[in-house]
A and B are shown apart, each in its own frame.
Chain A
């Protein structure tokens, strides 16, 4: 019998040969030293490749499908669990709009209903001296939030139905809106935070507010509750989406970035939660996923929120140790760490379009 070829050896070790052929191969492998060595080598290769393949399961972000894990889908978004299709969502939105329009028209004919029908959280800023006292001044985050569409009606009533509103400044009206619709405020504050983050590098260091003030701004809109909701996590994650540029922080005594850190990178979060809401946003995120890292071919291995204002990004470059970078919303300084080394680096937002 000729020496066994590699394919036959693997098929034999995989138990894929017919019984008669397997018997011949086994017999030959015991008699032929060359083939016995080849079989031993093949066993090692099979074991090694299985181990390498299993290393592919080390992906962040939830459950690796496997034994002992919960069967619940990790990637299932609220939309998916609610079985909301775009068509159903559109229908629901239409119905909601119709109901709210009816409510608005009815309530606008009875101004006194402002006090009784809507639980309104009024502005934090003091109203103008000439203005009458607001109907109620509460900042009770434990109360259920009024649906945004009702808030909009209340906002219109607040601004149109009272004489004082005619003298309100734009800022004051904004404050009223903020207080009435804390949910919308949250999104607005996050948009502001994003705007701060998106300032160019030169401006970022000079103009970016300290992280504490950004955090305070986030808290102001009741964004940071005792328990961070899924929506807030999505918003917070979205805060960090985009493209970044890194440079050495000379104030920390370094003129070079730590090895393994790219000079630019992109963070995207094209997760299931975003898809049903805005496909254009998803596309943007997908485009951002096309990493424009520099020549060290660094790869963003993983990034995750540490809090609503901090994100941790792990890079892995060929030949370099993985490096973690801690980003803080509103801060132009990041902290890179690899092993025992820790170094501050300058972080700035960059355009995602080459």
Chain B
């Protein structure tokens, strides 16, 4: 098994999930992941593989976002993806799950970039040292960053949910 095979088997899944969560766009996530692995092959020996891959992927997102700021504003477009050889439609989201996902995405987008990336990396199982290396933070500040990110995410999510419930209640009241 080559190094690329091993890297791919070991890290492709978590990396794509991280990128999908970060971008809200699976195709884009796949593209960035592929480019990351290509760079890993060109890089040769890597000391800390996971933090290196996540750092490069994160930087690729930032670079691309800088090049095309408009696209970054519209990450929420989730598209139908035809399976090349199958006619089976993907299972549609229920409205409730779609609503929850939309609020979650809005909440995560309300975080600062660093908080968001630290949080998503932690959720992918990166430890504090790896997060610190990937985001060029001190290890000691990772706990504070994560604490802030988590608190703000929960607060933003609850606030958005309350607003949604409030508007829904107002709408149904007006309808009645």
Chain A residues in the interface with B (C-beta under 8 A) = 5-11, 14, 16, 42, 45-46, 48-50, 52-62, 64-66, 73-78, 81, 227-228, 230, 233-234, 237, 259, 268-273, 286, 289-291, 299-306, 312, 314, 316, 318-322, 324, 338-339
Given contacts A56-B108, A230-B82, contact A65 B127 (CB under 8 A): no
Give min CB distance, B35 to chain A, whole Å. 14
Q: Are B104 and A304 in contact (CB under 8 A)?
A: no
Chain B residues in the interface with A (C-beta under 8 A) = 12-14, 16-17, 20-21, 24-27, 30, 70-71, 73-74, 76-85, 87, 89-90, 92-93, 95, 97-108, 119-120, 122-123, 127-128, 141-151, 153-154, 157, 160, 163-164, 166-168, 171
Q: Which residues of A contact B108 (CB under 8 A)?
A: 52-53, 56
Which 6 interchain pairs have the tightest Cβ spacing?
A: A319-B167, A7-B144, A11-B143, A61-B81, A304-B80, A7-B143
Give min CB distance, B114 to chain A, whole Å. 14
What are 30 of the A-B contact pairs (CB < 8 Å)?
A7-B143, A14-B143, A48-B154, A49-B150, A49-B154, A52-B107, A53-B104, A59-B25, A59-B101, A61-B90, A62-B90, A65-B13, A74-B83, A75-B26, A75-B30, A75-B81, A268-B77, A271-B27, A289-B74, A289-B77, A301-B78, A302-B79, A302-B92, A312-B92, A314-B92, A318-B160, A319-B164, A320-B171, A321-B95, A324-B95
CB-based nearest A residue for B150: A49
Q: Are A14 and B122 in contact (CB under 8 A)?
A: yes
Given contacts A7-B143, A53-B21, A65-B17, contact A316 B168 (CB under 8 A): no
Q: Are B143 and A8 in contact (CB under 8 A)?
A: yes
Q: Which residues of B contact A320 (CB under 8 A)?
A: 164, 167-168, 171
Alpha-carbon separation in the docked complex, A53 to B73 (Å): 19
Q: Are B127 and A16 in contact (CB under 8 A)?
A: yes
Given contacts A291-B77, A304-B80, contact A75 B27 (CB under 8 A): yes
Q: Are B84 and A81 in contact (CB under 8 A)?
A: yes
Alpha-carbon separation in the docked complex, A42 to B148 (Å): 11
Q: Which residues of B contact A230 (CB under 8 A)?
A: 82-85
Alpha-carbon separation in the docked complex, A224 to B83 (Å): 17
Q: Are A55 and B92 in contact (CB under 8 A)?
A: no
Q: Which residues of B contact A56 (CB under 8 A)?
A: 20-21, 24, 101, 104-105, 108
Q: Are A59 and B100 in contact (CB under 8 A)?
A: no
Alpha-carbon separation in the docked complex, A269 to B82 (Å): 10
